[in-house]
Structure 1
Amino acid sequence: MPRYFFNLVGSETVTDIEGSELDSLEAAREEAIKDARAIMSDAILAGHDVSERRVEIRDEEGTLLAEVPFSDAVSKRI
């Protein structure tokens, strides 16, 4: 099963060093959307706007496979 890494990109980048084993890139996108929504929820409760952030999905070699902007995570269905 492939391992995907989810880096949080904003004013700084938080690098995912563990990654997650998931069935497919589509499953990784769904995971990124869930993560973005959870982060946004916590930020909103704290009075912070994090809508400019995004999640980068990378493979084990570090190749960028997809990006999920936080603004897209609000309207995407999973």
Structure 2
Amino acid sequence: MPRYYFDVMSGNSVLEDMEGSELVDLNHAVAEALEDARALMSEAVRQGHDISDGSIVIRNGDRTLLKVIRFTDALDRKS
């Protein structure tokens, strides 16, 4: 199974994922990143912080950038 890395970017800070996760494919990695973004934003809101400008960068085992998930992509924006 391929390994994916999820680097978290918020403001000028980058938290590099050094372990990664083995997932079936990129679609599963995107689902994982969206779940992580929701969890990170929820915790930030509880602490009174707005980190909605952040993102999660998905990389493969070679550390090649595959996709960028903006935290706002994790929100269900219904009118």
Q: Please indicate, yes or no, whether the TM-score normalized by the shorter chain is above 0.5.
A: yes
Q: Which runs of 5+ in 1 are unaligned?
A: none
Deviations 1:28-48 (A, max 9, x none): 000000000000000001000
Distance in structure 2 (CA, Å) of the matches to 1:35 and 1:72: 12
TM-score normalised per structure 1: 0.94
Distance in structure 2 (CA, Å) of the matches to 1:64 and 1:74: 23
Structure 2 residue 21 is matched with structure 1 residue 15: no
Q: 2:42 is aligned with what amino acid?
A: S
Residue equivalent to 2:63: 62
Residue equivalent to 2:51: 50
Q: 1:8 is aligned with what amino acid?
A: V
Distance in structure 2 (CA, Å) of the matches to 1:17 and 1:62: 10
Distance in structure 2 (CA, Å) of the matches to 1:71 and 1:34: 12
What is the RMSD computed on CA atoms of the aligned residues? 1.1
TM-score normalised per structure 2: 0.93
Deviations 1:49-70 (A, max 9, x none): 0000000000011100001000
Q: % of aligned pairs identical?
A: 45
Q: Which runs of 5+ in 2 are unaligned?
A: none
Cα distance, 1:75 vs. partner? 2.5
Residue equivalent to 2:4: 4
**Length, aligned pairs only:** 76
Distance in structure 2 (CA, Å) of the matches to 1:24 and 1:60: 12
